[in-house]
Amino acid sequence: MPEPSQLGANPLSEIDRVVHEPARLMVLSQLYVVESADFLFVQKQTGLTQGNLSSHMRKLEAAGYVEVEKTFVGKRPRTLLRLTDTGRQAVEQYVASMKPLLDVFPDP
């Protein structure tokens, strides 16, 4: 287990803030384990409102972490969300960056 002094002066300065935001981390966690997911499914899984999820999706899409595909099923709109390769790498890097920070805490 690393000592806090081994982590540097500000270990959080290297954390990707786009990923670190709790709502976006929930969305990315949902998309990490599936090929793609329907907007409504992600909304239900995260408990976010439609507007809140839309706002976070715009930020994730602008960062290149998520692709948004809008189609129609019959006459009903359907929005599919997919984690990009860049997004997958960002999540993996985030996890790798957080592990040393969390390892300073004793096991519960």
Q: For residue 87, what are the contacts with CB-CB under 8 A and spacing of at least 6?
A: 28, 31, 60, 63, 64, 65, 66
- Tell me the Cα Rg of the chain: 16
* Alpha carbon distance 61, 107 (integer Å): 36
List the domains of the chain with CATH numbers: 15-102 (1.10.10.10)
Q: Which of 3-7, 13-17, 38-42, 98-102 has the highest mean pLDDT?
A: 38-42
Q: What is the pLDDT of residues 28-85, one digit of tens each?
A: 999 999 999 999 999 999 999 999 999 999 999 999 999 999 999 999 999 999 999 9
What global pTM score does this model have?
A: 0.84
Whole-angstrom distance between the N-terminal and C-terminal Cα of the chain? 14
Q: Residue 12 above 80 pLDDT? A: no
